[in-house]
Structure 1
Amino acid sequence: MHGYLPRRAEAALQRALSRAPAAVILGPRQCGKSTLARHILAPLDAVYLDLQDRTDRARLTEPEIFLEHHRAGLVCLDEIQLLPEFFSALRSEIDRDRRPGRFLILGSASRDLIRQANETLAGRVAQLELTPFLLTEVATRTDWKTLWVRGGFPDSLMARDERDSVDWRQDFIRTFLERDIPALGLDLPLPLMERLWRLLAHYQGQTVNYSKLAGVMDLSVPTLKRYLGVLEQTYMVRLLAPFDANLKKRLVRSPKIYLRDSGVLHALLEIVDFDHLLAHPQVGESWEGFVIEQLLAVMPRWRPAFLRTGNGAEVDLVMERGQERLIFEIKLSKAPQPSRGFHTLVAELQADAATVIAPVDTPYEWRRGIWVMDLAAAIDRWGEA
């Protein structure tokens, strides 16, 4: 499976290059951005620069000269967050020649990179987010259990056995803390960041109490939020916003926190295999986060949130787009039983559809308008092509 490329990602990148002078691929490190880029570049007159390589970075010492020399072909810049000052030269070059498909830009940090691109490349760039492997992309090569346990990073998912997969993820965590965070110019105490990351694994699927979490870490709340921001911007953590609705109920207003890759979560929790995972007290929260990430990746134009009332009624995921509203409940059971509170909220939210996602064998209608189905069926129904 090494080098395997999902057609969906390849097609999306081809479309982006055909409509804009520059395409930006964002996503966590080691998720396959470089592999995808090299595959696209192979048949083209293109130059690839890895900005982690000092020799490649040196070629951009005089960026105007370099860009003029390669104006006829496609230029790919990998790990652009390491050279953010290059965006101004890139804007000037694009304005000289705005034909589509001139630049392919890869980055492993989201917010700062997007800010730079929006400030200097507005109207010139098409942005894509590449996730680790999705169930639909590897369904013919592995099963959902393996993907859930190992996560979607290619080298973890494709490892020879569970031990090799765990070792890769432990190395990934160590490298991220020791090399990637400092490479972003962030002067953060690495032992503290590692402790926070491991602590967050135990908070999977919980609402964030910043004061309590800061107290456990012996940090101020602003410092804690800064550290969480780093993990969020580098695609390690997701803060799922609370749903904003006038339901005449007291609603929880704090976000929920999830480690985005289930394999990284399991490595931090020292979970080795599927049997170990099923016996772990956080197996339900792990399943919930795994399903949410899969859905959000295939529904990029929808706005996600969760809803929890003061008396404990909850909807795991509310997706909105324009006037459309979808509701998802996530259960790890062959015979899921949604709560009465869920049924009440479905009615009050006036959802267009309500779905319970569980590892069932066959989809069925649980109650009028509420369907139970497995993750693959839900993706097939709601995922965007």
Structure 2
Amino acid sequence: MFDRRIRPLLTGLLANHSAVALLGPRQVGKTTLALELADERGATYLDLEREGDRAKLGDADAYLASTAGRLVVLDEVQNAPELFSTLRGVIDDRRRQGKNDAQFLILGSASPALLRQSSESLAGRIIYLDLAPLDALEVGGEPTGTTSLWTRGGFPLSFLAADDANSLLWRQGFLRTYLERDLPQLGSRLPTEVLRRLWTMLAHLQGSPLNTAKLAANVGLDGRTVNRYLSLLVDLLLVRSLAPWTANIGKRLTRSPKLYVRDSGLLHALLGIADTETLLGHPVVGASWEGFVIENLIAAAPLFSQFHFFRTSAGAEIDLLITLPDHRRWAFEIKRGANPRPSRGFYQACDDVQADARFVVYPGEERFPLGSGTEALALAAAMTLVSTG
């Protein structure tokens, strides 16, 4: 259906590591990608939400011994946390036999329980990879497709829905599943409506620096509780906490992270935005576009890149600062309007951080210089540039 750009990286990791964990929200495409690889490799696939597949692991040691030499895909593995200690033993036994090829592809919805169990039992034996929703290059990079992706978000079933109404219905159901099932399973004791108010408040504050006291006051919770649930949404890869760049440059800097609902389609569902026409007239349109572009640029960046924003009290600001693996710093300003000229504060901020390259991402299609070493370019072009470093 879609060629996921992460696939070559995943294939390479499977060739060099005993266990790889592919993490991401539900319905993001983890199982589809894993099944494609499983078919190619003759792998064994187990869905641990199915009673029959869980029963096969009643004697996990014996079952996994019978799969020696084959890749085993374990889906929704957070449903069987006791399995991790068995996986550790199997991996170590095979390593002693000189077999270091891929043994397990572990899929999970990035629950804290999954991360904790795997980090304790499989430390030094597993590598993690996040699968994000569809990005602009994966859907073709054309303006029409990018606009639809921005409006509907990157969950495949939302993006591919027959029309905007059905897409919105899917996203509303997705949110309800997390609120009524997944979050309570992870220990949430708050009423569903309180959690929904918190999530909706985050949507209204898209791209704003974290103000715990303001959030807590708006949803009627204490600050500690708000921080705990924010951390949970970040762990589930549903909310991004973008950290500030805070090197000592002798200026007063913003030090609170900026929060974004990561998928633009979920953001719009939380705000009741049904289509592109409504979105373009909504007060959140600028912040929505900013978050959408940030997520796409991060998805395109090479492994081991680092991501920050930069802001001084005097108004100098960079929306996204990418530090590439070779330590070059690329600064991005994100503009929704037709005029992509950056603010004076962007130029000052680039000087402050000693940016090696400066770009303005805007909805147009042309690439052209803006002066002072800055270029304007479309999102797809920016992603291609970032992906090649």
Aligned to 2:39: 42
1:367 and 2:371 matched: yes
Given the superposition, is the C-alpha separation of residues 352 and 343 from structure 1 closer, same or farther in structure 2, using an over 3 Å criterion? Answer: same
Alignment correspondent of 1:317:
320
Cα pair distance change 1:188/1:70, threshold 3 Å: farther
Equivalent position SS for 1:135: coil
Deviations 1:103-135 (A, max 9, x none): 110011155433433332233223211111011
Q: Which moved more, 1:333-342 or 1:364-373?
A: 333-342
209, 216, 221: which is aligned to 1:219? 221
Aligned to 2:333: 329
Alignment of 1:55-204 (within 5 A): 55-98=52-95, 99-109=100-110, 111-139=112-140, 143-204=145-206
How far does residue 255 in structure 1 lie from its aligned partner after superposition?
Answer: 0.7
Match of 1:292, SS state, is helix
Residues 335 and 360 in structure 1, CA contact (< 8 A), matched pair in contact too: no
Partner of 2:357: 353
Higher mean C-alpha deviation, range 285-294 or range 5-14: 5-14
1:301 maps to which residue? 304
Aligned to 1:25: 22
Letter in 2 for 1:325: R
Offset of residue 366 of structure 1 = 0.5
What's the % identity of the aligned pairs? 47
Which deviates more from structure 2 when the two are superposed, residues 246-255 or residues 162-171? Answer: 246-255
Greater shift, 361-370 or 277-286, is seen at: 361-370
User: Offset of 1:73 from its aligned partner?
Assistant: 2.1
Deviation, 1:69, is: 2.3
- CA change 1:105–1:222 in 2 (3 A) is same
Aligned-pair CA distance for 1:30 = 0.3
Q: Deviations over 1:126-159 (max 9, x none)?
A: 3211111011111168611001000000000001
- Mapped partners of 2:136, 2:231: distance in 1: 28
CA contact (8 A) 1:238 1:259 kept: yes
Contact 1:24-1:128 at 8 Å conserved across structures: yes
* One-letter amino acid of the structure 1 residue matched with residue 260 of structure 2: Y
1:214 match: secondary structure = helix
RMSD, aligned α-carbons: 1.7
Hey, what's the Cα distance between the residues in 1 that align with 2:240 and 2:40?
36
Distance of 1:170 and 1:306 partners within structure 2? 30
Letter aligned with residue 246 of structure 1: N
Query: Offset of 1:50 from its aligned partner?
Result: 1.2
Partner Cα separation in structure 1 for residue 4 and residue 146 of structure 2: 19
Q: Indicate if the aligned counterparts of 1:204 and 1:285 stay in contact, CA closer than 8 A.
A: yes
CA distance in structure 2 between the aligned counterparts of 1:11 and 1:127, rounded to whole angstroms: 15
Deviation string 1:192-217 (CA, Å, 9 cap, x unpaired) is: 11111111110101111111111211
Letter in 2 for 1:280: H
Greater mean alpha carbon deviation, residues 351-360 or residues 132-141: 132-141
Alpha carbons 1:82, 1:183 under 8 Å: kept: no
Structure 1 residue 247 displacement after superposition: 2.2
Q: 1:262 Cα deviation (Å)?
A: 0.2
- Return 110-119 or 65-74, whichever deviates more: 110-119
Partner of 1:255: 257
- Asked if the contact 1:307/1:316 (under 8 Å) is kept, the reply is yes
Determine the structure 1 residue equivalent to 2:212. Answer: 210
Q: Describe the shift of the 1:328–1:160 C-alpha distance in structure 2 as closer, same or farther (beyond 3 A).
A: same
Residue of 262, 277, 283 corresponding to 1:275: 277
Partner of 2:236: 234
> What is the count of residue pairs matched by the alignment?
382
Q: Which runs of 5+ in 2 are unaligned?
A: none
The change in CA–CA distance for 1:105 and 1:354 in structure 2 (over 3 A counts) is same
* Paired residues of 1:333 and 1:360 also in contact (CA < 8 A): no
Distance in 2 between residues matched to 1:271 and 1:235, nearest whole Å: 22
1:376 aligns with 2:380: yes
Letter aligned with residue 266 of structure 1:
H
TM-score scaled by structure 1? 0.95
Cα shift at 1:292? 0.3
Higher mean C-alpha displacement, 228-237 vs 45-54: 45-54
Deviations 1:260-314 (A, max 9, x none): 0000001111111111111001100000000000011111421111111112321
- Return closer, same or farther for 1:203/1:277 CA change in 2, 3 Å cut-off: same
When structure 1 is superposed on structure 2, of 300-309 and 371-380 the one drifting more is: 300-309
Structure 1 residues 187 and 78, CA gap change in structure 2 (3 angstroms): farther
| Partner Cα distance (1:69, 1:356) in 2 | 55
Question: In the aligned structure 1, how far is the partner of 2:119 from the partner of 2:328?
Answer: 28
Q: How far 1:18 sits from its partner (Å)?
A: 1.0
Is residue 17–residue 100 contact of structure 1 (8 Å, CA) maintained in 2? Answer: yes
Q: Is the 8 A contact 1:133 1:152 kept in 2?
A: yes
